[in-house]
C-alpha cells in the first residue's frame, strides 16, 4: 500500500473517531439537559402546589375571622407567614442551584404550614365555624393541597437525585462543568420529623383550675 493510501486511511480513522466522540459528547449533553429540564419541571410543580395553598389563605382568613371572638393572634400569624413567603426570592424559570436559597424558601413555607396547622387546631374550639360549609370546603382543599405538596416535594427530590447522579458519573463528569451543570440542592426533612408526634387524648374534660 502506498504512503498516500496509508495517510488517507489514517485520516479516515481519525475523522471517524472524532465523529463518534462528537456523537458521544452530544449524547451526554442532551441527557444532562433533559435531566436538568426534569428538575425545573418538578420545581414548577412544587411552586404550583405552594401557590395553591397561598391562594386559599385569603378565603380561609375571611371565613375564620367571621367567627365571634376568634383568636386574632392566630389569624395575624397566618397572614404574616404568607407575606414572608412572598418576600423570599427564588430564581425564575428554574430550580434553585443555591442550597441557601432553597433552605430559605423551605423555612418560609414551613412557617406558613405551621401557622395554618395551628389555625385549624384553634378552629376546633368553634363548633359554629366548623359547621359552616365554606369552612369545611376550605379545610378539605387545604388538606388535599398539603398532600400534594408532600408528593411534589418527593418528585422534585427524585428528579434532583437523577440529575446529580448523572453529572457525577463517568464520562459525563468530564464535561458537566464545561456545560454549566452543577449539583442542585434537595428538600430536606424538617428537624424532628424522624420522631413520632406526641399523641394526647382529650375526652372533653376540662383542665382543673389553677390554685390561687
Question: Positive or negative, the Cα torsion across 98, 100, 104, 109?
Answer: positive
User: Which structural domain, as residue segments, surrounds residue 162?
Assistant: 3-175
Give the model's pLDDT for residue 111: 95
Give the model's pLDDT for residue 90: 85
Residue 198 lies in a domain: no
Residue 109 lies in a domain: yes
H-run or E-run covering 137: helix 133-168
Mean pLDDT of 181-191: 83
H-run or E-run covering 189: none
Mean pLDDT of 66-76: 84
Mean pLDDT of 73-87: 93
Does residue 2 surpass a pLDDT of 80? no
Residue 194 lies in a domain: no
Residue 16 lies in a domain: yes
- Measured distance CA(105)–CA(75) in Å, rounded: 21
Q: Which three cell numbers stand for residue 101?
A: 436559597
Return the top range by mean pLDDT from 17-21, 62-66, 68-72, 116-120. Answer: 116-120
> What domain count does the chain have?
1
Residue 185 lies in a domain: no
Residue 190 lies in a domain: no
Position with higher pLDDT, 13 vs 122: 122
Give the model's pLDDT for residue 18: 57
pLDDT band at 167 (very low <50, low <70, confident <90, very high): very high
**Residues above pLDDT 90, as percent of the chain:** 52
φ and ψ at residue 197, rounded to 5 degrees: -65, 150
Residue 148 lies in a domain: yes
Q: What is the pLDDT of residues 124-153, one digit of tens each?
A: 888 888 888 999 999 999 999 999 999 999
H-run or E-run covering 156: helix 133-168
Residue 41 lies in a domain: yes
- Measured distance CA(82)–CA(79) in Å, rounded: 5
Amino acid at each position: 500500500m502506498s504512503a498516500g493510501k496509508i495517510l488517507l486511511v489514517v485520516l479516515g480513522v481519525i475523522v471517524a473517531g472524532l465523529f463518534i466522540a462528537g456523537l458521544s459528547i452530544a449524547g451526554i449533553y442532551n441527557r444532562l439537559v433533559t435531566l436538568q429540564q426534569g428538575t425545573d419541571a418538578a420545581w414548577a410543580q412544587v411552586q404550583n402546589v405552594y401557590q395553591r395553598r397561598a391562594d386559599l389563605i385569603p378565603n380561609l382568613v375571611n371565613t375564620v375571622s367571621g367567627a365571634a371572638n376568634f383568636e386574632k393572634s392566630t389569624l395575624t400569624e397566618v397572614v404574616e407567614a404568607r407575606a414572608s413567603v412572598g418576600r423570599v426570592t427564588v430564581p425564575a424559570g428554574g430550580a434553585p442551584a443555591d442550597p441557601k436559597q432553597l433552605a430559605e424558601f423551605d423555612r418560609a413555607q414551613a412557617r406558613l404550614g405551621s401557622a395554618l396547622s395551628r389555625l385549624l387546631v384553634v378552629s376546633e374550639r368553634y363548633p359554629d365555624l366548623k359547621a359552616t360549609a365554606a369552612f369545611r370546603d376550605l379545610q378539605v382543599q387545604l388538606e388535599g393541597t398539603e398532600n400534594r405538596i408532600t408528593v411534589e416535594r418527593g418528585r422534585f427530590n427524585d428528579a434532583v437525585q437523577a440529575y446529580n447522579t448523572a453529572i457525577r458519573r463517568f464520562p459525563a463528569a468530564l464535561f458537566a462543568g464545561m456545560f454549566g451543570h452543577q449539583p442542585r440542592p434537595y428538600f430536606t426533612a424538617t428537624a424532628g420529623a424522624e420522631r413520632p408526634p406526641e399523641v394526647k387524648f382529650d375526652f372533653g374534660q376540662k383542665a382543673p383550675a389553677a390554685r390561687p
